[in-house]
Amino acid sequence: MTFKGPTWQRALYRSRSGMIFGVCKGLANYLDTNVTIVRLGALLCLFFTGFVPMIVIYTVAAILMKPEPVVPFETEADREFYDSYTSSRTMAIHRLKRTYENLDRRIQRIESIVTARDFSWDSRLKE
């Protein structure tokens, strides 16, 4: 598998199409290697370290790794928003609310200018 896209797009995410939580496939995508190699390495670690430590490590990795985005990022701003959303949903909601409020204020300002009594549509349309 070859990685295509900007370098800022490459990050460690849990794959949505993996076998068990998508940890191995996400790690393989990040390392740009075959998923079979990573799965075999995980199985070897499972047998040589004992079942419980590897299962705990795998489960912690599944909990800590963010899920892969459904839609690929187009800009770095998209990635920043996704990272902020997966880290703290309340922070992302506040960010969206601030953006909406800023847009709402701008629209209200435009409406107040356009609907003012002294606004001359004739002179604006002739320009």
Question: Mind listing the pLDDT tens digit for each residue in 15-67?
Answer: 888 888 899 999 998 888 899 999 999 999 889 988 888 889 999 998 888 88
State the amino acid at position 119 in one-letter form: F
Query: 73 phi and psi, to 5 degrees?
Result: -70, 140
Task: Note whether residue 83 is domain-resident.
Answer: no
Q: What is the rounded CA–CA span in Å between residue 14 and residue 67?
A: 5
Most confident of 5-14, 69-78, 83-92: 69-78
Q: What is the rounded CA–CA span in Å between residue 27 and residue 41?
A: 11
Percent of residues, the chain, with pLDDT higher than 90: 20
> Domain of 31?
1-70
* Summary mean pLDDT of the chain: 81
Question: Mind listing the pLDDT tens digit for each residue in 53-79?
Answer: 888 999 999 888 888 877 777 888 887
Q: Are residues 52 and 104 in the same domain?
A: no
Task: Note whether residue 114 is domain-resident.
Answer: yes
Q: Which of 2, 3, 35 is nearest to 20 (CA)?
A: 35
Q: What is the rounded CA–CA span in Å between residue 101 and residue 125?
A: 30
User: Contact 28/34 with Cβ under 8 angstroms?
Assistant: yes
Percent of residues, the chain, with pLDDT higher than 70: 85
Residue 2 pLDDT greater than 60, yes or no: no
Structure tokens at 7: 């370098």
Residue 9 pLDDT greater than 60, yes or no: no
Q: Are residues 58 and 17 in the same domain?
A: yes
pTM of model > 0.75: no
Structure tokens at 15: 């794959």
Number of domains into which the chain is organized: 2
Alpha helices in the chain (DSSP H): 23-31, 35-49, 51-64, 76-87, 89-114, 121-126
Task: Note whether residue 79 is domain-resident.
Answer: no
